[in-house]
Structure 1
Amino acid sequence: MPEKLGRDLDPAAVRAWCALALDALGREREEIDAINVYPVADGDTGTNLYLTVEAARQAVEALFAAGGHGGGGADGDGRGGAAPAPADTVRALAHGALVGARGNSGTILAQLLRGMADVLAHGCDGAHLARALSTASAAARQAVAHPVEGTILSVAEAAARAAGEAGRDLRDVARAAYDGARAALDATPGQLDVLARAGVVDAGGRGLVAVLGALVEALSGEAPAPVPRARRASPLLPAAGTPGGDCAASGPAYEVIYLLEAGDDAVARLRARLDALGDSLVVVGGDGLWNVHVHVDDAGAAVEAGVEAGRPYRIRVTHFAADAARAAAAEAGGSPAEPAQRAVVAVVPGEGLAGLCAEAGATTVLALPGRPPASGELLDAIRRAHAREVVLLPNSAELRHTAAAAAERARAEGVRVALIPTRAAVQGIAALAVHEPGRRFDEDVVAMTAAAGATRYGELAVAEHRSFTSAGVCQAGDVLGLIDGDVAVIGQDLAETAQGVLDRMLSGGGELVTLVLAADAPPALAARLERHVRQRYLAVDTCVHHGGRQHAPLLIGVE
């Protein structure tokens, strides 16, 4: 990397900042996890921050790729085409962090980056950076329902204050922000009793220092002196019943996180409702898209509140008791809880299928239209499966490369991962149906792959505009019947089009038809299609599942 990347925080420098921040959090992730005692001692702050920054980096890299910027790696040398506009780059950074935010600290970091982007979109010199840090600190504090001193909020505020006193030189401002954050981090045990009792600094603040250190390096080419290595938090402290103590004994049982499409007024009502339900409430975002984080005892009520406010998706619920049990086992035995031998991780298009796959023992990742999961989400699911061997079912042709990247990273962590290239949810259901954990791994993978490959898949969709398809010209509002990804039938009635698709799929034979209906599908559709199959194809069985909210009104599988 060159010693200087320019006088401004230009797109190349933002790109470098993302890469360096991810590298820094990758190096320090386990150490940050080990000192995580507030707001819940669940040992995942470093991991959550890493995944949040990974999502931000992916968004920036996607912007460079879309802009035809074929060269110029993280050092921004500019080869291969023009870089994106500065405003677009910082907005992509903020948006990526927002949609990929994880945990309490990751959600706050996403709001910090959003607050910075709002200012840096109008200029990226030293004065703008100082103002951006101040705006970011205020925005993050406003996003937290009950701000607490001695946390990442205090570290961000100190960084902004120091940056505002540093003059106008960009590198001086960045260095001052970093130094201010370092000093504030060292002071956190004196501000928050739970940190003092555990003998550690705040984990979220430590992560923010790493991110600001990466900014200094991106702008100057020189990395700041590393933060002294922290010791692991005391296993005896904090005590149960205190903030950040034994979550299983005294605090809410679940962490609930989801993205939400909703207006400002609805979000204001949502904040009030979630604040009454639990604690550690952080709602970040704006312009119709929000990331919601809360700790509650009633996870269903927290999700329900999101449904009433707008459209929640990428819903993730974590049971703290399971994490606490693993941590206790690690302390008692000197090593983490013994992982299971084998697990299945499946991407599913709706909550109904998520429940079905979970009942079958799979760890699920929810994918909705226009919001495919990133490789970090899939890697996180593989880690949550906590197994030596994992079978990964992407259930989408579009996720093949994303799943492959997650599998490679999991293998680097010592997990044996087999990626079965399922292209639809019904293929994943077929694979899961023949899954046998007691078999040898290779035999199990072969059987699951064969079951998926023997399943043809179809779905119904409604045309949004007039267009040419492989089955002819369709008009807006027409019902499209797709088989193996291509339009095969065009109709006006949902049930009649579905029957046409079934007839085509069964013309080559079949033993089992799987129907997955969306929540808004006509109530009588399943019965009509079951009757159609029974009357026309006597030897074919039919299985019906309810997928909940999914992108297609009907998914079809034929084995």
Structure 2
Amino acid sequence: MAQVPQTFFDALAVRTWCGLALRALGRARAEIDAINVYPVADGDTGTNLYMTWESAVTAVEAVFEGYETGCGEPSLADAVHAMAHGALIGARGNSGTILAQLLRGMAQVLAADDAGREPPHLEGGRLRLALRRAADSARQAVAHPVEGTVLTVASAAANAAERAEGDCAAVARAAYEGARAALAATPGQLAVLQQAGVVDAGGRGLVAVLGSLVEAFTGEAVREVPKVPEPVAGGHAPVTVPGAGLCVAAAEAGGPAFEVIYLLEAGDTAVARLRERLDALGESLVVVGGDGLWNVHVHVDDAGAAVEAGVEAGRPYRIKITHFGLGDVHTGAERPTRERAQRAVVAVVPGEGLAGLYTEAGATTVLARPGEPPASGELVQAVRRAHAREVVLLPNDAELRHTAAAAAEQARAEGIRVALIPTRSAVQGIAALAVHEAARRFDEDVVQMTSAAGATRYAEVVVAEHQSWTTAGICQAGDVLGLIDGDVAVIGPDVTATAETVLDRMLQAGGELVTLVIGDDAPETIARHLQARVRESYLAVDTVVYQGGRQGALLLIGVE
């Protein structure tokens, strides 16, 4: 079915582009993984690009959902800022980090020009400027730019766009064709690509993204990028070799042992010093972002030193360290086989405190920080990391239902038996984990865990960020909200008093056990106060308290 073309570069065009590009990267994912040989032949560029873009799509969809309550439509600035921020916090690997900066560069131009809508024939000028800013900012983010990579493809796209005339469709098509030609020439610019007979994997992903931009504005799919690139002038025709990403060990022999990635809250001056320090520690350094939030990527031999440098610069979090030596990427040796467990539990948790609790109970955890829900790719990776034949997946958030379902489906396609229990809160997950028994039959275990989760009512106490209509009336920014089973039930001025009202309402329907998960920002005395309330008014009810850490909500409550 043909895509309805977008005339203007507005929020709907951004949403359309995001959806088309996610599908395009999904189709090309395996191919891009197979040709990945630079900067490290680890076969993950397609996956990293897909997960980065998926995070951008999730952020854009969240913006549109926020306007579905009759509050109008999101602006172009809303959509492009969400897209860039989503990519930044979800960036994976060298390629994903550069992609995030490309989107940030585009957002800087598109959001600044969102004051008024231009006629269609003038809209192309805005897109030309956005592609130029994207290419330049991405190149500036890389410590030592290398030609024959995604940076070359991005620059070629911007150059071609600047020569184009007309509306967004004409500019997008010119950028796509320029990128496509530059991609075919990458083997002649980078020896490792010439040796492997492949084009640059990151550039291949960018061509897919730009092709989706053309489709968004024309309604027509672009011609496929050939798997065998066009002949390079003066050279032979490179051939895409499936699995080549795992075959060119000699090209990267002796390189750094670790890839280190983290998000960093820090100021510009501290980040400038961090760049210098990390540049001295390793290679493939890419630092993207701004306005106090950065995504840092580097390849080093001393992973601890790279993290310590981030600590000195600000607050690093969502730290991911990958050892390149684990497998046949560099050595050609097979990875030692670890015996699969029969069953495992994978759970999404909202804070470090609960992550520790779940881990102690034997679960593999995925940390969901406030405003940063995990993408389906992260859940799939966690399922793989659990290394079990059977996996019970606990999303612990109603908003993650579709994401978790997509992850479960992908894991099943890889031969893992996955059961998704639709837990809507971490306290429901605690109840499910409490009755989990790996020795039981899988189906029976899932039934018992599902029953325990379903028998647990859940609530949370949060602070309203802005004025809005709720099921309990109008709330103002700064009001304390008590949500029971996902709906606002109480609006009050005081955290402890609101929490007590919520707890009383929940216990009116009965209960045997109250679970309290205390966030870092909750009053210090709230746990003692609520425990005393339960002891005095509900004699047959027990209470357990856990520290949740930076979990977003001030308080989580479960009643079984």
TM-score if structure 2 supplies the norm length?
0.77
Q: Which residue of 1 aligns with 2:320?
A: 317
Q: Which residue of 1 aligns with 2:357?
A: 356
Q: Deviations over 1:307-334 (max 9, x none)?
A: 6656666x1524335x83387999859x
CA distance, structure 2, for counterparts of residue 62 and residue 519 of structure 1 = 26
| Contact 1:41/1:245 (<8 A) preserved | no
**Structure 1 pair 151/263, CA: closer, same or farther in 2 (3 Å)?**
same
**Structure 1 pair 353/222, CA: closer, same or farther in 2 (3 Å)?**
closer
Q: Which residue of 2 aligns with 1:74?
A: none
Matching of residues 37-76 of structure 1 within 5 Å: 37-61=37-61
**Structure 1 pair 457/120, CA: closer, same or farther in 2 (3 Å)?**
closer
| Contact 1:379/1:407 (<8 A) preserved | yes
Q: Deviations over 1:138-192 (max 9, x none)?
A: 1001122332333211221222223334455655543443333233323433443
Q: CA deviation at 1:499?
A: 7.5
Give the unaligned 5+ runs of structure 2.
Answer: 229-239
Q: Which residue of 1 aligns with 2:258?
A: 253
Q: Which residue of 1 aligns with 2:95?
A: 105
Report the secondary structure of 1:255's partner residue: strand
Q: Which amino acid aligns with 1:223?
A: V
Q: Which residue of 1 aligns with 2:183?
A: 185
1:291 has 2:291 as partner: no
TM-score if structure 1 supplies the norm length?
0.77
Matching of residues 267-416 of structure 1 within 5 Å: 267-272=271-276, 274-275=278-279, 278-295=282-299, 315-320=318-323, 324-325=326-327, 332=334, 341-385=342-386, 387-408=388-409, 410-411=411-412, 415-416=416-417
Give the unaligned 5+ runs of structure 1.
Answer: 71-81
CA distance, structure 1, for counterparts of residue 24 and residue 475 of structure 2 = 51
| Contact 1:489/1:500 (<8 A) preserved | no
Q: Which residue of 2 aligns with 1:224?
A: 223
| Contact 2:344/2:391 (<8 A) preserved | yes
Q: CA deviation at 1:261?
A: 5.0
Q: Which amino acid aligns with 1:237?
A: V
Q: Deviations over 1:416-444 (max 9, x none)?
A: 43222223212212322332334322111
After TM superposition, the structure 1 stretch with the greater mean CA deviation from structure 2, 97-106 or 273-282, is: 273-282
CA distance, structure 1, for counterparts of residue 162 and residue 536 of structure 2 = 77
| Contact 2:214/2:222 (<8 A) preserved | yes
Q: Which amino acid aligns with 2:258?
A: A
Report the secondary structure of 1:324's partner residue: coil
Q: Which residue of 2 aligns with 1:237?
A: 248
| Contact 1:69/1:83 (<8 A) preserved | no
Q: Deviations over 1:324-358 (max 9, x none)?
A: 3387999859x998865433221111122223323
Q: Which residue of 2 aligns with 1:78?
A: none
What is the aligned residue count? Answer: 537
Q: CA deviation at 1:551?
A: 2.0
Give the superposed CA RMSD: 4.6
**Structure 1 pair 438/33, CA: closer, same or farther in 2 (3 Å)?**
farther
Q: Which residue of 2 aligns with 1:76?
A: none
Report the secondary structure of 1:325's partner residue: coil
Report the secondary structure of 2:249's partner residue: coil
| Contact 1:329/1:337 (<8 A) preserved | no
Q: Which residue of 2 aligns with 1:435?
A: 436
1:22 has 2:22 as partner: yes
Q: Which amino acid aligns with 1:128?
A: R
Q: Deviations over 1:261-303 (max 9, x none)?
A: 5544454455445545554332323344433334456667656
Q: CA deviation at 1:211?
A: 1.6
Q: Which residue of 2 aligns with 1:79?
A: none
CA distance, structure 1, for counterparts of residue 16 and residue 334 of structure 2 = 42
Q: Deviations over 1:362-405 (max 9, x none)?
A: 33222233333344544454455455433221222343344345
Q: Percent of counterpart pairs with the same letter?
A: 67
**Structure 1 pair 449/8, CA: closer, same or farther in 2 (3 Å)?**
closer
Report the secondary structure of 2:248's partner residue: coil
Q: Which amino acid aligns with 1:142?
A: Q
| Contact 1:348/1:366 (<8 A) preserved | yes
Q: Which residue of 2 aligns with 1:32?
A: 32
**Structure 1 pair 94/480, CA: closer, same or farther in 2 (3 Å)?**
closer
CA distance, structure 2, for counterparts of residue 64 and residue 454 of structure 1 = 33
**Structure 1 pair 498/18, CA: closer, same or farther in 2 (3 Å)?**
closer
**Structure 1 pair 206/397, CA: closer, same or farther in 2 (3 Å)?**
closer
| Contact 2:261/2:295 (<8 A) preserved | no
Q: CA deviation at 1:210?
A: 1.7
| Contact 2:327/2:334 (<8 A) preserved | no
CA distance, structure 2, for counterparts of residue 65 and residue 462 of structure 1 = 20
Matching of residues 396-545 of structure 1 within 5 Å: 396-408=397-409, 410-411=411-412, 415-461=416-462, 484=485, 494=496, 514-519=515-520, 543-545=544-546
Q: Which amino acid aligns with 1:110?
A: A
Q: Deviations over 1:11-57 (max 9, x none)?
A: 66544433332222112101111222333333221011112223333
1:117 has 2:119 as partner: no
CA distance, structure 2, for counterparts of residue 540 and residue 534 of structure 1 = 7
Q: CA deviation at 1:120?
A: 3.9
Q: Deviations over 1:452-479 (max 9, x none)?
A: 2344445554577999999999998787
| Contact 1:281/1:294 (<8 A) preserved | yes
CA distance, structure 2, for counterparts of residue 303 and residue 160 of structure 1 = 35
